[in-house]
Structure 1
Amino acid sequence: MKRLILVLLLLAGIRVQAQQQKDTGVVYMFCYFKGNSVDGLHLAYSEDAYHWTALNDDSTMLRPEVAKDKLMRDPCIIRGGDGKFHMVWTVSWKDKGIGYASSEDLVHWSKQEYIPVMEHEAGAQNAWAPELVYDEATKQYVIYWATTIPGRFPATDSLGDNNHRIYYTTTKDFATFSKAAILYDKGFNIIDATILRNGKKYVMFLKDETKTPPQKNLHVATSKKLLSGWSAPSPSITGKYWAEGPTAIFANNSWIVYFDKYRDHKYGAVTSIDLKNWTDISDKVSFPKGTRHGTVFTITRAEFNRLANLLY
């Protein structure tokens, strides 16, 4: 009997250890939209940050409900200081606000909110590709996006279909927000910024949206502070193709920047170990067919297992 009890305890211990091993580590996640984005949020995952598999049979995870156009373009998800997942997205081509919702499991989401980030600007034409980052030092969220205000930057008004600059607002509770202000303006049409912490500094990946002469490529800027002191953009880190919607992660001991090759209808990527010298690895990454302008983030293995259980 004692031997049987010992065997049962040993087996139980093995099962617990196996479960603990199964729940450790991280899983790379990618949120994106497809088509015209009216069907909403899509999610994919990866074990190696190179090959991505759609979740939920590539069906929508959340349908858009706010703004006149009810779009869910350019979704951005981060983990906040409260442990929840917070998401912002583009709700319309012409509205002056963005969408917001939060979740604890990436399946069940809070009521969608419309945040009127540029309603105070009479001439503002849009609020596109919003992203957010949590600032540990100030315990607040910084939301940033691209907006065109005709006449605000006249020197570049005639060099493209739009004349964007990157604006930002801050909030601690997603109920009250600071007045929008310029985050990045270096004298050219910029859109699709994404910011990550890099040690004691910050790094921004951005798109030069200049159409005349054509740029449509990605660059890097850095700063010691989140809301000021940003450097001029680096030389282009992408090729002669048109690229947009950069999103980045430090994985496999290097930086990987994914982007939408929107004219080629596929995703690409470049990698670097020093943020200066870049190698195109577009032929080494794969995404679900039709993936458009998304963002990458990570969750724990245990969170992924719970997510899979909820979906399947």
Structure 2
Amino acid sequence: MNRIFCTLIVLLFLSSCSKDVYLFSSFHEPANEGLRLLYSYDGYKWTDLNRTFLKPEIGNQKVMRDPSIAQGKDGTFHLVWTSSWKDDKGFGYASSKDLIHWSEERFLPVMEHEPTTVNVWAPELFYDNEADQFVIIWASTVPFRFEKGIEEEKNNHRMYYTTTKDFKAFTPTKLFLDPKFSVIDAVIVKRKTADYVLVLKDNTRPERNIKVAFGAGATGPYTNVSEPFTKKFTEGPSVAKVGNNWLIYFDSYQDKKYGAVKTHDFKTFTDVSAQTVIPEGHKHGTIFNVKKRILKGLLK
């Protein structure tokens, strides 16, 4: 009865609230169960919907890691995810109108033109409303292609991208970011027209922390890579606009907990981890806004 009562209270609250709510795509290790979702009204305190919404059925390992969701102008939600730790030359894709009923899963072989590709990690979706297209970025290692630090060649990542308007036709894969170090887990943030920020993980052995870079367009180029604003052994940044500030969540994986910083200019960062509530087991995903009716459907 308590659970039913709480759900009714939430639904009544949503009925009287016109503001969009936040969703956070998620997965639990060992990543074979599928897509999970968290929700929040303020961007700080998150609740797990306590179920999976799409079970991974494609890829070498048939896992769903790093699920990234973005909504198109027609209201359709698009989802991409890491389908294997290694050996896949692409990633998974599906779409939905309500985040409950999903299309057939497809494998997008974005790195099939590079036969020595080791991995395709953490695809991230961004809807570029200026160009009316989706930008998909991801990290891959092509051994002996780039300069590196002390990490092995099979761990020397760069960011790549493709664009699409309909998830049927895709532009040829191109190099997205070569900051002269191994980089993974990048997220595109638009502040205003011709003003973009890229939040990224420096994956080199001396660093393994999170930084930002700046560009004039969604596809870059991104330059002026900052000093780190998190400690070492942090990854998987996710970004939410809350009021006049931006919250950057990250996985502090050595500590086995989630952290967050707040910034208004991506130059100064304040640790707000103590003000946040992240359900246990949550892993790397994307934060996005939805209308209250979407959350009502998920809660039912």
Bigger CA radius of gyration: 1
Taking the aligned partners of 2:180 and 2:274, their CA distance within structure 1 comes to 34
Establish whether residue 273 from structure 1 lines up as the match of residue 268 from structure 2: no
Out of 269, 288, 296, the residue aligned to residue 287 of structure 2 is 296
The range that moved more, 87-96 or 136-145, is 136-145
Distance 1:49 1:90, change over 3 A: same
Taking the aligned partners of 1:146 and 1:19, their CA distance within structure 2 comes to 40
- Superposition pairs of residues 129-148 of structure 1, within 5 angstroms: 129-148=122-141
Taking the aligned partners of 2:116 and 2:128, their CA distance within structure 1 comes to 30
Q: Is the 8 A contact 1:24 1:302 kept in 2?
A: no
Aligned residue number for residue 5 of structure 1:
none
Q: Is the 8 A contact 2:150 2:204 kept in 1?
A: no
Taking the aligned partners of 2:14 and 2:46, their CA distance within structure 1 comes to 25
Out of 220, 224, 229, the residue aligned to residue 228 of structure 1 is 220
Taking the aligned partners of 2:102 and 2:74, their CA distance within structure 1 comes to 15
Q: How far 1:20 sits from its partner (Å)? A: 9.1
Taking the aligned partners of 1:122 and 1:101, their CA distance within structure 2 comes to 25
Out of 69, 73, 78, the residue aligned to residue 86 of structure 1 is 78
Aligned residue number for residue 285 of structure 1:
276
Q: How far 1:308 sits from its partner (Å)? A: 1.8
Aligned residue number for residue 43 of structure 2:
49
Letter in 2 for 1:284: Q
Q: Identity percentage over the alignment?
A: 45
Normalised TM-score (structure 1): 0.88
Taking the aligned partners of 2:58 and 2:14, their CA distance within structure 1 comes to 41
Establish whether residue 122 from structure 1 lines up as the match of residue 115 from structure 2: yes
Establish whether residue 215 from structure 1 lines up as the match of residue 207 from structure 2: yes
Q: For residue 131 of structure 1, give the secondary structure of its aligned residue in structure 2.
A: strand
Aligned residue number for residue 28 of structure 2:
34
Aligned residue number for residue 204 of structure 1:
198
How many residue pairs end up in the alignment?
A: 286
Aligned residue number for residue 157 of structure 2:
164
Q: How far 1:157 sits from its partner (Å)? A: 6.0
Taking the aligned partners of 1:121 and 1:81, their CA distance within structure 2 comes to 33
Q: How far 1:228 sits from its partner (Å)? A: 2.7
Taking the aligned partners of 2:213 and 2:246, their CA distance within structure 1 comes to 14
Distance 1:226 1:70, change over 3 A: same
Q: For residue 144 of structure 1, give the secondary structure of its aligned residue in structure 2.
A: strand
Letter in 2 for 1:116: P
Q: How far 1:301 sits from its partner (Å)? A: 1.6
Deviations 1:276-312 (A, max 9, x none): 1001111221111111112111111222223222xxx
Taking the aligned partners of 1:139 and 1:27, their CA distance within structure 2 comes to 24
Q: How far 1:19 sits from its partner (Å)? A: 9.2
Q: Is the 8 A contact 1:217 1:238 kept in 2?
A: yes
The range that moved more, 174-183 or 106-115, is 174-183
